Structure 1
Amino acid sequence: MEHYDVIVIGVGSMGGAAANVLAERGVKVLGLETFWPGHDQGSAHGGTRIVRQAYFESPDYVPLLRRAYEGWHKLERESGREIVNLCGGIYIGDRDNLVFKGSMEAAQLHGIEHEVLDATEVKRRFPTMNPTDDAFALYEPNAGYVRPEETTMANAEVAARKGATIRFGEPVTHWSATPGGGVEVVTSQGQYGADKLIITPGAWAPQLLPELRFPLSIERMVFYWFTPEFSDAVPYELYEDKRHPIYIEETHGNQQIYGFPMTDGREGGFKLGFFRLGTPTTPQTIDRNVYDAEVEQMRRRALELFPYLTGGLVQAKTCLYSVTPDEHFILGPYPDKPQVVLGCGFSGHGFKFVPVIGEVLADLATTGTTEHPISLFDPKRLVLSPG
């Protein structure tokens, strides 16, 4: 049985980042992944993911985001892939809404560059948008998007270049902690041993971590690409990422939406989706079809902010969210198994942290501790007692 310093189960976004960091540190690491590089079966696909630092979810995330930004640029340099585009970001809501209010709190607390715009100024600077007259917006120039498929492929490639062994198409069937403090992992193709184990299972967490009984909600989400109606007043160029920011909006309880500029040409469509308007599912039973009623619900909501988004649907895709009750991550040692480190439950907002999560997982697997602030994500807070 071949032995490694660290095995990583799940070489998607977080696991790939961890393998990359470990290999850079000279650790003998094996990464095991059920699917293919950059696959579309989990949560790391769809062409774009938002990155931002004026973080309305909690100011406590901002130090991690700043470190993550350093990691995004490093990964782009090392891989030679185009991954990061900081086209700016705008967060719109009524004065008391968390999207606006929380973004303002994080920006002020951490000294993040920003502007506050009223509705009139939003419409002037971004004619694609028509927020309500009493809305406010925080504009963050250092926000934008990253490419998820490019990210997962880049981490795997760079990790392998640094000495990691990455095996795609090799699902794990069983893992166990050994009496001596190590681990054993059984796959469809073999058996491996290691001193430490990192598990980054995404939506497969309930299957790979059944003993912990985490109260995770696995949800089917949908994102959509529509075609705007272009005109002389609002031409295609105003939707491109050279002129248009990423955006998040919720005003007077109208259900939060988020989205992107047109990143893939005139024919690629204008991508957006609801945040946390999913339906319970499992990775094995998810319905990959998207229905007319869902498309119309998205279009009606989108038109509240984007009055010219009246053209045809280009495409719609499903995605899996793994959501914790408090919407904070699960990141830390496996309770009672210190040789096992967990990273899951990223609740639909974790992708922007990929590089720093990789560092945290690598730290915990090699030294048992990390300098990054992760107390908010302690797995023990969610462990349910048996019965």
Structure 2
Amino acid sequence: MSDGPLAVIGVGSVGSMALWQASKLGVPAVGFEAVSPAHPRSAVGGDTRLFRMTFRGEHNLYPVLQLAERLWQGLEEESGQEILTRCGGLSIGEVDGPYIPALLDSIKRTGAPHEILDRAEMASRYPQHHLSPGECGILDTRAGVLRTDRAVLSAVDLARQNGAEVVKDARVREVRELSDGVRVSTDDGSWTFDRVIVASGSGSGALLPAYLQRQVHRKRIFLTWFAARHPEQFVPEAFPIFIRITRDRSLYGAPTIDGSTVKATLDGRGTTVADGDTIARELTPAEVAESLDTVREFFPGLIPEIVRSDAYPDLCTSDSTGLLGPVAGSERI
């Protein structure tokens, strides 16, 4: 006998949204969460994430981003919460370097709204950034900063209002397809559902079939925050989200949300780890040194001392493309 039509394993950045959308369709769903939604040691941690309509690469993400934009707006309208703050987004790099031309090629294909700002225009409009000769900025006018905790908790709250259930402190150990459903097993028992969505972040690897386990790996992602000399210069109204890739340095970040500190974090420095539950939270001396050097060069308005840092687990694919769809040979998982 089935315990319900749908289970969602993991109620984080993906699972919370799946639960909310299923509940809007009238599907009675149960979410299983190893700790609690938006707990501070999940991949959701770190206060904010960047939302952009511009990107580099061959994959055509623009229709997905357009849909996501509408869905964020819908979540805000239904919850009454501000989740996506539209502050714009800057991409900064060398005019003839590897980043900016690739970004402009993608923008040309998609037609995403944007502005090209030379070094002088950047100095006039966004003096927080120190650009070197030969660098420029691309402004994504529809970009913004997402409040991660608020997003997850709002989606979960709406799902519950629509009849969904969330089981907390329930680490799923096995997902096994049977002839008449899918068995979900935790340390406290097992349930059978018609279908299951696996969305448990760094914990998903062990729940996937072997052919997918070989294509994913856990990563430790660290974040850093710095104090602003003049915080009013870094509020969302004055300071867009940013990604900067130039020479051998790269940094991304977001405006202040606490009125004091600014997230500015080295890009692409995630390291593979064996266990997402035991990652090192403290930064290494090398990570600290590179962070300070980069902030010192890029941001004269930030005090080059890390006032807050942390590290979070996430699950990545071997080709950096998201996994979405049924597992091979299954119509239920």
**Fold-level similarity (TM above 0.5):** yes
Could you tell me which of 229, 250, 257 is aligned with 1:256? 250
Map of 1:177-326 to 2, 5 A cutoff? 177-180=177-180, 182-209=181-208, 211-212=210-211, 213-230=213-230, 236-252=231-247, 254-266=248-260, 269-281=261-273, 282-326=275-319
Native 8 Å contact 2:296 2:304 kept in 1: no
Native 8 Å contact 1:49 1:145 kept in 2: yes
What is aligned with 2:69? Answer: 69
Q: What's the secondary structure of 2:69's corresponding residue? A: helix
Amino acid at match of 1:208: L
Native 8 Å contact 1:258 1:273 kept in 2: yes
Cα gap change, 1:303/1:194 in structure 2, threshold over 3 Å: closer, same or farther?
same
In 1: Cα distance, 2:330 partner to 2:210 partner: 12
Amino acid at match of 1:216: V
In 1: Cα distance, 2:93 partner to 2:162 partner: 45
Native 8 Å contact 1:56 1:106 kept in 2: yes
Native 8 Å contact 1:59 1:105 kept in 2: no
Map of 1:1-387 to 2, 5 A cutoff? 3-58=3-58, 60-180=60-180, 182-209=181-208, 211-212=210-211, 213-230=213-230, 236-252=231-247, 254-266=248-260, 269-281=261-273, 282-340=275-333
In 2: Cα distance, 1:339 partner to 1:96 partner: 48
In 1: Cα distance, 2:250 partner to 2:58 partner: 17
Shift of 1:98: 4.6
Native 8 Å contact 1:127 1:238 kept in 2: no
Native 8 Å contact 2:2 2:194 kept in 1: no
Number of residue equivalences: 331
Q: What's the secondary structure of 2:124's corresponding residue? A: helix
Shift of 1:283: 0.9
In 2: Cα distance, 1:221 partner to 1:293 partner: 15
Native 8 Å contact 1:126 1:238 kept in 2: no
What is aligned with 1:374? Answer: none
In 2: Cα distance, 1:85 partner to 1:58 partner: 28
Q: What's the secondary structure of 1:109's corresponding residue? A: helix
In 1: Cα distance, 2:290 partner to 2:80 partner: 39
In 2: Cα distance, 1:130 partner to 1:140 partner: 19
Q: What's the secondary structure of 2:249's corresponding residue? A: coil
Deviations 1:234-278 (A, max 9, x none): xx32211110111001112x2321101122112xx1111122212
TM-score by length of 1: 0.81
In 2: Cα distance, 1:6 partner to 1:123 partner: 53
Amino acid at match of 1:189: D
Shift of 1:313: 2.3
Amino acid at match of 2:195: K
In 1: Cα distance, 2:41 partner to 2:307 partner: 20
In 2: Cα distance, 1:199 partner to 1:323 partner: 14
For the aligned residue pairs, the C-alpha RMSD in angstroms reads 1.7
In 2: Cα distance, 1:301 partner to 1:105 partner: 27
Shift of 1:311: 4.6
Unaligned runs of 5+ in 1: 231-235, 341-387
Shift of 1:217: 2.6
Which moved further from structure 2: 304-313 or 5-14? 304-313
Amino acid at match of 1:79: S
Cα gap change, 1:30/1:98 in structure 2, threshold over 3 Å: closer, same or farther?
farther
Shift of 1:99: 3.4
In 2: Cα distance, 1:13 partner to 1:25 partner: 19
The runs of at least 4 consecutive aligned structure 1 residues that moved more than 6 Å come to: none
TM-score by length of 2: 0.94
Native 8 Å contact 1:9 1:31 kept in 2: yes
Shift of 1:214: 2.9
Deviations 1:326-377 (A, max 9, x none): 211111111112211xxxxxxxxxxxxxxxxxxxxxxxxxxxxxxxxxxxxx
Q: What's the secondary structure of 1:256's corresponding residue? A: strand
In 2: Cα distance, 1:135 partner to 1:58 partner: 24
Q: Calculate percent identity across the aligned residue pairs.
A: 28
Shift of 1:140: 1.2
In 2: Cα distance, 1:57 partner to 1:152 partner: 28
Q: Higher strand share goes to which structure?
A: 2
In 2: Cα distance, 1:136 partner to 1:311 partner: 23
